[in-house]
């Protein structure tokens, strides 16, 4: 019987050496990688039955990238995520349809081996991974993304001092982000007139709400961070060949929209609350 070929990805050398040695004693043929680049090179060169990847390899969430590549190149491999942070369970649940399981450090070796062998004997049918471009995915989940953005903004010490309700806080941002994503999908590198007008109106509304110009910028930064978190959690559903150029375009156009809001904000007549 051929040995079970396993790829283990972790940026901590001690864990790579220890876990690899233990798994080899259990009959696995183990290859290790210390980075996403090394893992992708191995996935493209060799066939594996199992992938175990740390969730955070160098950067938080890098394990998602490794799993995504494995699912595309070797879709019948059993894939597991290893994490030292159990509170990441909500994020992992979002990709559970493409990840066979996740393990919490330190992993119980006997349970791990038994679980691996069970999954290999009862492999799920190979699933076709349907991928889409980032802006399309954002558009389909716009309200959910903005709800998470509201939670993040509520933790900002300066922004939460402004008593706005949910509708006032979101204001034109949903339409602005939708416009930006639409432009990126159409291959445009410039902001269309309608979205630019909404951005200008957003600046006036923020002035009336008692904002300072730097708070508009802070909101935009929180929105860009939330977009990053959202895309990371949905990496397996994204066309990786378009990911980087699309994200760069989204960030560029959001920056242009933010600048338009601040320009409009600065044309308003100051009142004591803005001084």
Q: Clarify whether residues 30 and 57 are in a common domain.
A: yes
Give tens-digit pLDDT for 4-54: 899 999 998 988 888 889 888 888 899 999 998 999 999 999 999 999 998
Q: Clarify whether residues 163 and 98 are in a common domain.
A: no
Give tens-digit pLDDT for 47-64: 999 999 988 887 777 787
Q: Kindly tell me if the per-residue pLDDT of 140 is higher than 60.
A: yes
Q: Kindly tell me if the per-residue pLDDT of 94 is higher than 50.
A: no
Question: Residue 90: what pLDDT?
Answer: 46
Question: Residue 93: what pLDDT?
Answer: 52
What's the pTM?
0.61
In a domain, 256, yes or no: yes
Encode burial over 246-275: b for 16+ CB neighbours within 10 A, e otherwise: bbebbeebbebbbbbbbebbeeeeeeeeee
Question: Residue 86: what pLDDT?
Answer: 55
Domain boundaries, position 207: 134-274
Q: What angle do CA 172, 178, 182 make, to 5 degrees?
A: 145
Local structure of 116: helix, strand or coil: helix
Q: Clarify whether residues 110 and 72 are in a common domain.
A: yes
Decide which of 84, 99, 121 is a domain's last residue.
121
Q: How far apart are the first and last CA of the chain?
A: 77
With bands split at pLDDT 50, 70 and 90, how would you rate the model's confidence at 271? low
Q: Clarify whether residues 113 and 151 are in a common domain.
A: no
Half-sphere exposure of 14 (CA within 13 A, CB side): 1
> % helix / strand / coil in the chain, to the nearest 5?
60, 10, 30
Q: Clarify whether residues 172 and 219 are in a common domain.
A: yes
């Amino acid at each position: 019987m051929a040995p079970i070929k396993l790829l283990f990805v972790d940026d901590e050398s001690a864990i790579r050496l220890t876990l690899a040695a233990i798994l080899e004693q259990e009959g696995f043929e183990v290859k290790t990688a210390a980075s996403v680049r090394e893992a992708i090179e191995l996935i493209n060169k060799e066939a594996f039955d199992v992938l175990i990847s740390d969730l955070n390899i160098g950067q938080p969430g890098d394990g998602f990238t490794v799993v995504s590549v494995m699912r595309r190149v070797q879709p019948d491999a059993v894939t597991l995520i290893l994490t030292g942070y159990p509170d990441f369970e909500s994020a992992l649940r979002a990709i559970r349809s493409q990840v066979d399981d996740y393990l919490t450090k330190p992993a119980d070796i006997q349970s791990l081996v038994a679980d691996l062998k069970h999954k290999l004997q009862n492999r799920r049918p190979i699933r076709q991974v349907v991928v889409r471009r980032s802006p399309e995915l954002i558009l389909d989940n716009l309200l959910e993304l903005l709800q998470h953005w509201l939670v993040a903004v509520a933790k900002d010490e300066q922004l939460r001092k402004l008593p706005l309700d949910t509708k006032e806080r979101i204001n034109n941002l949903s339409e602005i982000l939708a416009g930006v994503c639409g432009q990126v999908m159409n291959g445009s590198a410039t902001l269309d007139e309608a979205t630019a007008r909404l951005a200008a109106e957003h600046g006036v509304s923020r002035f009336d709400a008692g904002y300072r110009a730097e708070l508009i910028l802070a909101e935009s930064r929180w929105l860009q961070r939330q977009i990053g978190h959202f895309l990371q959690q949905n990496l397996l559903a994204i066309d990786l060949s378009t990911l980087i150029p699309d994200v760069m375009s989204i960030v560029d156009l959001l920056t242009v929209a933010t600048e338009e809001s601040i320009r409009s904000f600065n044309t308003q007549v100051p009142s004591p609350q803005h001084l």
